[in-house]
Amino acid sequence: MSEDLIIGIAGSGGDGVISAGESLLTAAALEGYHCVMTKSFGSQIRGGEASCRLRLATQPVLNPNGPLDVAVALNWDDFKRFGAELPVEAATIVIYESNTGVAADKLPLPGVKPAVVFSVPITAMAAEHAGTDKAKNIVIAGLIAGWFGIGRESVVAGIRKKFAKKGAEVVEGNVRAFQAGLDFATANPLPQDRKLSTPQSGGQAKLLTDGNDMCAAAAIFAGCTFFGGYPITPSTEIMQFLDREIWKYGGTVLQAEDEIAGIGAVVGASFAGKKAMTATSGPGMSLKTEILGLASLAELPLVCVNVQRGGPSTGMPTKAEQSDLFQAAFSAHGDCLRPVLAPTCVADIFEVTVEAFNLAEYYQTPVIVLSDQEIAQRKETVDPIDTSKFQIIERRHPSGPELTNYARFKLTESGISPISHPGMVGGNYLCAGIEHNEQGRPTASGEMHARMNEKRFNKFNPLKNRRDLFTVEGDSDAPIGMVSWGSVAGVAREALRLAQAEGLQVKLLVPRLLYPVAETVYQDFFASVQRGLFIEQSYQAQLYRIVRMNVDLPTQVKAFAKSGSNPILPSEVLKRLREMVVSIQGNQQHQPEAVQD
């Protein structure tokens, strides 16, 4: 039996690799398994090579990476192009298309000799049973269903639905192709039973979506009625989802002429009193910088999602990286502070996006959500979310008395001043990018500038005490501490699970609020720590450096960082944790005995 299976499938664009993965994914979600699927493509717009990785498990999947348990190759050239994304080991079960003409003992995988290999006439089976080799994906689903015990009923139900319009003959042909896959698996059993055990949640169906769609849905839930943006990989699906939905809620999507205009329209909509959002990635984020500063000075709420990809410049548009944190925190001229949040998985994007709107409206500020390509585009099962537990915050409008001699930027104790919008009688003011006094009038007074800066910074003080924006997992007084954020937090969580299984005393801090740095949270976390590790997907380990700027960390806190597109594996992290244990023990042995007095 299996508790956790990683399946990688690769072929050329027309092979139906992705649709095979998707039908298995849907089946698994319906049957209550936890599942994550990532897709990867060659650089051609159409055709070219395509692959997907599915991780199916009986307990929550924290991270999609790891060596394959099962590899399916429709042809070896395409499979090999994915290199480290589809790592095959001796223990990997290999299934490949017989018409490749490759002998089972001569697989083109240098240095690995998988023990279990099946050469399957996938194309021939599709042609024989469904009358078309387009049904290859169905045969693959049948093979996986047969060997690993998922999707028997739901894949067939899916076939019946999907092909219903094409007539009974097509439906039955595809059902036969699926059955042929099952039969092949029955006739050629694995040396060991590897069927997935029943899921821990007892088979309750889950939600299934990717991070971008989840982000867009969260925006609608939070009350967003305006989106302005410009297409850019890997963020565009947010705009696409909203374009299908937002009109129903009296909202608008504006595909602007560029990212500057996109965030410009968003600032305008916010000035007009609406909850508004933009989403982009790397280069687009660079263009938005000036207007983000305007929103900070004019204290206008907005949410700006940056789905990070490899950079700088065009960088690696389809690969995740965590290298835009410095930009999110610091890319502004002048003294400026804006909150930066990061989600850790698809489910978390819902909470983080709603939180971003709440912070934006409450603090009257732009808020940056740092998503990344991986969670944005991977499809993942999500346990049903109880939306009634979320509070939705609206900006504070001036009340009647506050509108007599209304002062838009009134220096209040909290630093938050009631905000009016056009249409509100008596709330008229001059909103501007130029420094202003309490009434919004332009000023060149150094004293006023200092007071307004103080207001704009101090209003965020309560934010640093939001401990609910951080999770501490593992042994609370462990001597070893990890910090990780965004999609990589899943890797660290899995490493924590492995370390705990070995009896190591380790803990993990996952911040969802990255900036401003909540100093006391880090101080408390590191109080017990002798060896620490920030695990990040960037060359510079940007969170590590930002925290170091703000907090005195123990000297033995280091960073484990890799540039984007180089998966960080839980096993690598575990190895480092073990080394840290050894180093602490070594230190204790060499320490001179404490002086008694």
Nearest to other proteins of 82, 350 (CB atom): 350
Exposure string for 447-469, b = 16+ CB within 10 A, e = fewer: ebbeebbebbeebbeebeeeeeb
Nearest distance from residue 282's CB to other proteins, in Å? Answer: 21
Nearest to other proteins of 157, 411 (CB atom): 157
Q: What would the x/- binding string for other proteins be over residues 372 to 391, using CB under 8 A?
A: ----------x-xx-xx---
> CA 291, 226, 287 angle in degrees (round to 5)?
25
Nearest to other proteins of 421, 545 (CB atom): 421
Residue holding tokens 């994914």? 25
Q: Chain-centre distance of CA 134, in angstroms?
A: 32
Q: List helix spans (H) across 42-121.
A: 76-81
Residue type, 494: E
Nearest distance from residue 131's CB to other proteins, in Å? Answer: 22
- For residue 505, give the 3-state DSSP assignment: coil
Nearest distance from residue 398's CB to other proteins, in Å? Answer: 11
Exposure string for 155-173, b = 16+ CB within 10 A, e = fewer: bbebbeeebeeeeeebbeb
CA–CA distance, 363 with 353 (Å, rounded to integer): 15
State yes or no: residue 290 binds other proteins (CB under 8 A): yes
User: Which of 6, 29, 489, 559 touches other proteins (CB under 8 A)?
Assistant: 29
Bridge partner list, 34: 57
Q: How many CB atoms lie within 10 A of CB 79?
A: 28
**Contact positions with other proteins (CB under 8 A) in 295-324:** 298
Nearest distance from residue 230's CB to other proteins, in Å? Answer: 11
Q: Which of 537, 545, 473 is nearest to 505 (CA)?
A: 473
Q: Is 367:339 a contact under the CB 8 Å cutoff?
A: yes
State yes or no: residue 405 binds other proteins (CB under 8 A): yes
Nearest distance from residue 224's CB to other proteins, in Å? Answer: 10
State yes or no: residue 528 binds other proteins (CB under 8 A): no
Nearest distance from residue 391's CB to other proteins, in Å? Answer: 12
Nearest to other proteins of 124, 157 (CB atom): 157
* Dihedral angle sign, alpha carbons of residues 568, 569, 572, 578: positive
Q: What would the x/- binding string for other proteins be over residues 105 to 144, using CB under 8 A?
A: ----------------------------------------
Bridge partner list, 379: 37, 210
Nearest distance from residue 208's CB to other proteins, in Å? Answer: 4
Angle (deg, nearest 10), helices 168-187 and 136-148: 40
State yes or no: residue 354 binds other proteins (CB under 8 A): no
Phi, psi of 400 (to 5 degrees): -45, -60
State yes or no: residue 27 binds other proteins (CB under 8 A): yes
CA–CA distance, 375 with 77 (Å, rounded to integer): 28
Q: What would the x/- binding string for other proteins be over residues 187 to 226, using CB under 8 A?
A: ------------------xxxxx---xx--x--xx-x-xx
The CA–CA distances, whole Å, from 589 to 342, 479, 576, 583 equal 40, 16, 20, 10
Nearest to other proteins of 398, 570 (CB atom): 398
**Contact positions with other proteins (CB under 8 A) in 253-272:** 254, 256-258, 260-262, 264-272
Phi, psi of 543 (to 5 degrees): -65, -40
- Range in contact with other proteins (rule: CB under 8 A) among 57-65, 425-433, 491-499, 569-577: 425-433
CA–CA distance, 541 with 557 (Å, rounded to integer): 12
**Contact positions with other proteins (CB under 8 A) in 234-253:** 245, 247-252
Nearest to other proteins of 115, 205 (CB atom): 205
Residue holding tokens 């109080």? 527
The CA–CA distances, whole Å, from 426 to 174, 397, 407, 418, 421 equal 68, 12, 10, 13, 10
Nearest distance from residue 89's CB to other proteins, in Å? Answer: 31
State yes or no: residue 428 binds other proteins (CB under 8 A): yes
User: How buried is residue 477: exposed, middle or buried, by Cβ count under 10 Å (0-12/13-18/19+)?
Assistant: exposed
Number of residues this chain uses to bind other proteins (CB under 8 A): 84
Nearest to other proteins of 46, 165 (CB atom): 165
State yes or no: residue 441 binds other proteins (CB under 8 A): yes
State yes or no: residue 440 binds other proteins (CB under 8 A): yes
User: Which of 407, 448, 472, 498 touches other proteins (CB under 8 A)?
Assistant: 407
CA–CA distance, 214 with 376 (Å, rounded to integer): 8
State yes or no: residue 291 binds other proteins (CB under 8 A): yes
Using only C-alpha atoms, the chain has a radius of gyration, in whole angstroms, of: 27
Nearest to other proteins of 62, 208 (CB atom): 208
Nearest distance from residue 370's CB to other proteins, in Å? Answer: 22
State yes or no: residue 273 binds other proteins (CB under 8 A): yes
State yes or no: residue 276 binds other proteins (CB under 8 A): yes
User: Which of 127, 190, 403, 448 touches other proteins (CB under 8 A)?
Assistant: 403
